[in-house]
Amino acid sequence: MKKTSKNFFIETWGCQMNEEDSEKLSGMLRKTGYKRTTVKEFADLIIFNTCCVRENAELKVYGNLGALKKQKEKNPDLIIAVCGCMMQQEGMAEAIVKKFPFVDIVFGTHNAYKFLEYLNRVKQEGKSVVEVQDKEDGIVEGLPIDRESDVKAFVTIMYGCNNFCTYCIVPYVRGRERSRKLEDIKKEIEDLIAKGYKEITLLGQNVNSYGKDLDPKITFAELLREIDKIEGLERVKFMTSHPKDLTQDVIDAIAECKTLCEYIHLPVQSGSTRLLKKMNRSYTKEQYLDLVQRIRKAIPNVAISTDIIVGFPGETDEDFEETLSLAREVQYDSAFTFIYSRRKGTPADEMEDQIDDAVKHDRFNRLVEVINGSAAKKNKEYEGRIEEVLIEGLSKNDETKLMGRTRTGKLVNFAGDGSNIGKLVNVKITKANSFSLIGEQV
């Protein structure tokens, strides 16, 4: 493709997987001479990378697309592309071009690597391109990546999900589980370290089933131990773990390997065994609590976060009380809390006992209160401690300060030298707020 000096704007909704896909799209564009702008109005190319895990993510995309109509009328050369999970849903791509005929390119998650080809076609032929593939093309290695941070990076270790939780659309839009080869993962991490990156987060919808599809097979714990050996690596985190697959050898690996951080994201979704069964989660409340206990025993000062859904079909007051009691017992450091959202094509959407909106909102507020309570309490435990902090950048609210994170993922603000960004320093925690810590470098 010919070099241009045009600007692109990209907006991403959804999870880190989508963020990483956007970093790849940006990487491809930069290679052809495009520059990134954060001002939509200055862009010659606008990309929306969409999410469909909950309805409100979709509504945001519709709103944002509608608002582009005027910009396109003013600048007919503007190219608009829409991609991501939402486009993988049956009939969605056609619905988008019908509703927003000014959209030029529509593609899905499985063919994102062909984006430059589609862009070229639109430029040459002046016609819109709509291409979504049902089937994944295997794993495409070697795409350029334009990363958001110079300090920490996400590295995808596997794509897709085989779990089919009854509320979730992800297995339908991201396909079946596919693991990247160990050598490819190691090579990517080594290249990142050579560029000065300090922290790597391994990504997958269910990282604990890594390697089951590879020949020869390799377990996630073995992968972690291999990665831990890489020279120069400081910190490794990973997400997301499915409680049914988090094995004792993964817990042991975290306890024993120096780069593996004391942090686990362990979505519980509900505290009611009855609902967990209806959700197809394959564990009971007791098994989850036992797992948490084993984690806490093996890894002192570990931080645990979770995802919880309220208002799943058939959720009674008693079921919800089970969720509250579980949250109180676990004492999460943080949690992503969600109101159940009906997704077409999933089994839960067909269930008859859908919950009233007002009940869902009331339960949501009560749950958030419990979570905020434990989060504040956990933060308070850091007061007076000296913590290793990786400096990520300047503080968002106060640019005279630095912002970094502990190994457990706690956000710390403290005064310091801006030239230290990217370094690991020791910080004494002087004050805990509900969602962040304040400290002094020592």
Sheet holding 263-265, edge to edge: 263-265, 303-310, 334-339
- C-alpha 136/C-alpha 138 separation (Å) is 6
Segment 268 to 297, residues that bind ligand 5AD, using CB under 6 A? 269
Subset of 138-157 contacting ligand 5AD (CB under 6 A): none
Residue 168 binds ligand 5AD (CB under 6 A): yes
Does 168 appear as a known binding residue?
Answer: yes
Is 51 annotated in a binding site? The answer is yes
Question: CA-to-CA distance for 12 and 83, rounded, in angstroms?
Answer: 10
Least distance in angstroms from the C-beta of 241 to ligand SF4: 10
Determine, following the binding rule CB under 6 A, whether residue 267 of this chain makes contact with ligand 5AD.
yes
Q: Count CB neighbours of 418 within 10 A.
A: 12
Q: Least distance in Å: CB of 166 to ligand SF4?
A: 9
Work out what residue 323 binds among ligand 5AD, ligand SF4, none; the CB cut-off runs from 5 to 8 Å by kind: none
405 exposure class (CB count in 10 Å sphere: 0-12, 13-18, 19+): buried
Q: Which two tokens stand for residue 284?
A: 């009971």
Nearer to ligand 5AD, 173 or 192 (CB): 173
Among residue numbers 343 through 362, which ones bind ligand 5AD (CB under 6 A)?
343
User: Does residue 261 have a known ligand-binding role?
Assistant: no
Peptide bond into 273 cis (omega under 30): no
Pick from ligand 5AD, ligand SF4, none: which does 205 bind, CB < 5 to 8 A by kind? ligand SF4
Check if the beta carbon of residue 335 is closer than 8 Å to that of residue 372.
no
* Residues 257/228, Cβ–Cβ less than 8 Å: yes
Please report which helix (H) or strand (E) contains residue 172, including its range.
Answer: helix 170-174
Footprint (CB under 6 A) of ligand 5AD, residues 303-342:
307, 309, 338, 340-341
83 is in an annotated binding site: no
> Least Å distance between CB 410 and ligand 5AD?
21
Which 52-71 residues touch ligand 5AD, going by CB under 6 A? Answer: 53-54
Q: In the complex, which residues of this chain contact ligand SF4 (CB under 6 A)?
A: 161, 163-165, 168, 170-171, 205-206, 242
DSSP string, 57-96: HHHHHHHHHHTHHHHHHH-TT-EEEEEEGGGGSTTHHHHH
Minimum gap (Å) between residue 358 Cβ and ligand SF4: 25
Binding-site residue set for [4Fe-4S] cluster: 15, 51, 85, 161, 165, 168
Binding-site residue set: 15, 51, 85, 161, 165, 168
